[in-house]
Amino acid sequence: MSDVILIIDGMNFAHRARSGFQQGDYSIVYNLFRQLRAQVELHAPTRVIFTMEGHPKKRLQLLPEYKANRVIDVSTEEGAKKHASKQDFFRQADVAFELMQRFFPVSVMQHPDHEADDLIHNVIKNAAASSEFVVASSDSDFIQLLQRFPNVRLYNPITKAHVEAPEHDYVFWKALRGDGSDNVPALPDIDDARATALMDDPDALREVLREHGSTFSRNVELIRFMDFSLDELMQVRSSSPVRDWDAVGRAFADMHFKSILKEPYWSRFVGTFDALWL
């Protein structure tokens, strides 16, 4: 029987945890651990990897404005509120990530100079061919994994469904229409529909690339997952947790997670993760 490895797109899940149950000053922590348990229970993996973001060093060299749209202007009242919210988000995310790294049977992994997407790609690329992977994320960029690796499934926790890959090359399609969430510009006058039409019309695509080929090539490099060298693989940080549910219980009690600690939920919560320690 092959291993089933569940890979969690960590920051994607952390941002998703901002909505859901409100639990005092630790709602994100509360929702994140509930979501994590739900994914483990659903996919019944033999191993779980939780990936964290690094600094997108190479992409910033290609495009200094990469993700610049996420910078908050704190000079306005609205900006100051957004900044405070962002700071609180990272405060809570740090609490959750530390607990996970210390006490949960999850490999928390991070590369200092690469994004989590690239890390996930390289984990899968360098794994045994017999391993099966489930990547849990609402980020459509992972479609490119489906088009490259037959042993990968992509699960969207928002739609609660597995994602199917399109027939056209996802990276080329997205390089045409850009990625507004990452501040990667589209080619002029190209939206989703136009990009899809161009993928089915090689002659029209050649005409567009004749004029905008350099921008397209740069976009491809920004969007396509980056391969790690051996030296880069050696820089990946991975956690070494210890099994101590009493410590987890005390931490949850300090954050007033009464509903998690209440029986029979607590026993089910512990049982879900205990299966991964075996």
Give the domain extent around 252.
Answer: 4-166+229-277
Last residue of a domain, one of 223, 242, 262: 223
Model confidence over 101-134: pLDDT tens digits? Answer: 999 999 999 999 999 999 999 999 999 888 999 9
Residues 42, 140, single domain; the answer is: yes
Same domain, 14 and 42: yes
Q: What share of the chain is helix, strand, coil (3-state, %, to 5)?
A: 55, 10, 35
The number of distinct structural domains making up the chain is 2
CA 92 to CA 32: how far, in whole Å?
10
**Residue 36 parent element (H or E):** helix 27-43
Distance CA 72, CA 267 (A): 42
Are 31 and 53 in a shared domain? yes
| 89 and 202 part of one domain | no
Collapsing DSSP to helix, strand or coil, 5 comes out as strand
CA pair distance 261, 250, nearest whole angstrom = 10
The whole model's pTM is what?
0.95
pLDDT tens digits, one per residue of 65-95: 999 988 888 889 898 888 889 999 999 999 9
pLDDT in tens, 230-266: 888 889 999 999 999 999 999 999 999 999 999 999 9
Could you tell me whether strands 132-136 and 4-9 are parallel, antiparallel, or unpaired per DSSP bridges?
Answer: parallel
Taking only the tens place, the pLDDT of each residue in 150-186 is 999 999 999 999 999 999 999 999 999 999 999 999 9
Are 51 and 174 in a shared domain? no
Q: Are residues 138 and 77 in the same domain?
A: yes
